[in-house]
Amino acid sequence: MAELAGSFIVVLCYMCYLWTAKKFCKAYLESSRMQEWVFVLVLFAGWILQNIMSKYCGVPNIVYDLSGHFFLLGAVALLFRGTMEKKVLVSSMLITVTILVENFCASCYSCLYLIWLHTQKDIPVPFLNEWEMNLILCISLLTGSLAVYLLSIHPASFFSGKTKRCIVLAVPFFMIIAVFDVANWGAGYGILVRSGGNLGLYYDQIFSNAGFGIFALLSMLAIGFYVLGMDKIYLEQRKSSQYFAQVAAYQILEEQYSQLERLRHDMKNHIIALGGLLENKEWEKMRSYLKNMEEGAGIRTGEEVTGNQVVDALLEQKRKAAEEKNILWECDVQVPKSRCISEFDLCVLFGNILDNALEACERLPYSEATDRKRGFIKIQAKVVKHCFLLEVQNSAEEPYVHGAADRKNSKIHGVGLLNVNDVVNRYNGVVNINFQNAVFTISILIPINADVHDSKQAV
């Protein structure tokens, strides 16, 4: 009965681990709810089959471990959607975290329990029976499940990127897996680390478990620094790409206005030519001439008149993008005439915020009743008591803010807000972000008076 109860507890703990493994894969890959539970059932059936083969067929531990890894990798590949490279990377990290945490916990708990038996129970050479080993296995499984769960609710950013180097990124994980599989295989044939003297079997067990635990701890630290480092590199790359994208957009706008200035310079000649066509009633030639003038200007006059040509052009582009996506657009922007904020920085602010707003509205579920997406974008900007106030509201399902005040878990607003924060901090401004009633609001306050250094004191 004790053996049966122990096996039942182990099964429950393993089911808990499978639930967290499903959640971990869901954080990085896509799947339906049915596929997620099929994933759990398939892994559970594979685990039962592996235990039966290990107990009655005499399968070596290393074959048992390798078959479990390939089984998990195959289940992820078949039941989750994404590139195969990304599936391999996610699976390798899941296996590595599980192995490291479980080995560390099992070694520490075994070492502490053996010391307790030796010192408190006065057992000269204590050994762990099957019930005690199952208990330690359950505690290790639960600890590993907690670690996987924490990683699933705080996913690493570089996993979400469309990188083509996923296999290369997975190499350190596979190396750790291989080393621990070999070490566990060696430990299955006897004590792996010995005291080096005649201290006895008890101290050999202590040294072996302590050595295994220290090795697992060092490996966890190494993998942790690796993931954090890759995460930081990925965020810097994303931030840099967003920044240079805004540089490119600003250069395009400058080129467009250069074309417009050339057109204005030649306006006298154009008026003379159009007057001649009008006098001769050559309507088709006149229409063609006007079309060539419009194309030569590079842009068309939009509805937005902010007092800044660069912002006008940017808002015109974003308005057209919103109309193409059936998103309601409302804009009331007045840019301060003083050059307190550079045109480039204004482009970064408006561009990143509006790109995020467009993406958030585009992610909204489609409404068949109105035959359009229920999305809106509302932009307001004006001068308030020596400060430039910019506020953008947009429809959203959930907020996502990276590097700002609110850090709720979603995927709508991205790394572009890092660039927004950089610009605002450069001018000693403040950013406020709010999400309420399916409306995402970002408010920016920047002092425009040279004597004002604190935007909070300016209002």
Q: Residues 341-371: pLDDT tens digits?
A: 887 788 888 888 998 888 888 878 765 444 4
How far apart, in whole angstroms, are the C-alpha atoms of residue 62 and residue 340? 67
State the average pLDDT over residues 208-215: 86
Give yes or no for residue 299 having a pLDDT over 60.
Answer: no
Q: Residues 177-200: pLDDT tens digits?
A: 988 888 887 776 655 555 555 667
**Is the pTM of the predicted complex or chain greater than 0.75?**
no
433 DSSP β-pair partners? 442
State the average pLDDT over residues 239-260: 66
Q: Residues 49-67: pLDDT tens digits?
A: 887 777 777 667 778 788 8
Banded model confidence at residue 330, pLDDT cuts 50, 70, 90: very high
- Pick from 108-112, 210-214, 251-255, 399-403: least confident: 399-403
* Residue 298 near residue 260 (C-beta atoms within 8 A): yes
Can you tell me which residue has the tokens 């579920």? Answer: 365
Q: Residues 150-178: pLDDT tens digits?
A: 988 877 766 655 455 667 788 889 999 98
The long-range contacts involving 220-228, CB below 8 angstroms and separated by at least 24 positions, are 220/100, 220/101, 220/104, 222/172, 223/96, 223/97, 223/100, 223/172, 223/173, 223/176, 226/172, 227/93, 227/156
pLDDT of residue 377: 94
Q: Say how many residues make up the chain.
A: 459
Mean pLDDT of the chain: 79
Q: Which of 247, 268, 265 is nearest to 257 (CA)?
A: 265
Give yes or no for residue 25 having a pLDDT over 80.
Answer: yes
CATH number for the domain running over 304-458: 3.30.565.10
How far apart, in whole angstroms, are the C-alpha atoms of residue 458 and residue 404? 22
pLDDT of residue 21: 93
Which amino acid is it at 64? Y
Domain spans of the chain, in order of start: 2-242, 266-300, 304-458
pLDDT above 70: percentage of residues in the chain: 75
Buried b (16+ CB within 10 A) or exposed e, 332-354: ebebbeeebbebbbbbbbbbbbb
How far apart, in whole angstroms, are the C-alpha atoms of residue 104 and residue 110? 10
Give yes or no for residue 417 having a pLDDT over 90.
Answer: no
Banded model confidence at residue 274, pLDDT cuts 50, 70, 90: confident
